[in-house]
Amino acid sequence: MSVTPETTDDLIVIGKIFSIHGVRGEVKVYSFTDPIDNLLDYKKVTLRRGNDVRQVELVSGRSQNGKFLVVKIKGLDDRDEAGLLREFEICVPRSLFPELTDDEYYWYELEGLKVIDTEGQLLGKIDHLLETGSNDVMYVKPCPGSLDDRDRLLPYTEQCVLNVDLVAGEMKVDWDADF
């Protein structure tokens, strides 16, 4: 493992190490990719926990019950060493992500956008998104200038999301502010 990363600018979190697996230094990883094993497409990744940043190479991996991955990191063969990697985020440069078509967005692009209803009222900012099975859900938290101090869960659907303007940092939605 290299402890000096090439750069930490513009890194996107695609997973997180949450435990160890077995005695040979494998780690258990929550993958934020869809499908979850897409994380394994990235061989050279950056591990980050606070100010501790390391470059590593993923040698192999496999899905475990479709809920998480078991991953082997090059040069990591000890259970105790693997345990020291708990809570490290797995990151890759944004430039490695595939290009999307119009009206498609990565979740990280939506996080932080101001959410404005059809009346022009600021409902808050997108804090994060949740995968629910039927459709994704935006968790909107109040921010300075918000209509009120309520947290909101809005569906990320064509009926709700009317327009996304990444340059302006805004999303227009068809949503009743009282709901």
Q: Give per-residue pLDDT as tens, 95-128.
A: 998 888 888 999 999 999 999 999 999 999 999 9
Q: Are residues 123 and 142 in the same domain?
A: yes
Q: Are residues 77 and 119 in the same domain?
A: no
- CA 88/CA 25 separation, integer angstroms: 15
Domain boundary residue, one of 96, 126, 142: 96
- CA 125/CA 108 separation, integer angstroms: 13
Tens digits of residue pLDDT in 35-72? 999 999 999 999 999 999 999 999 999 999 889 999 99
Q: Are residues 91 and 112 in the same domain?
A: no
- Residue 14's alpha-carbon distances to 23, 67, 73, 140, 150, in angstroms, are 25, 15, 16, 21, 29
Q: What is the pLDDT of residue 27?
A: 98
Residue 86 lies in a domain: yes
Q: Are residues 18 and 81 in the same domain?
A: yes
pTM listed for this prediction: 0.77
* Number of independent structural domains in the chain: 2
Domain coverage including residue 21: 11-96
Determine the 3-state secondary structure of 46 from DSSP.
strand
Q: Are residues 19 and 82 in the same domain?
A: yes
Q: Are residues 89 and 111 in the same domain?
A: no
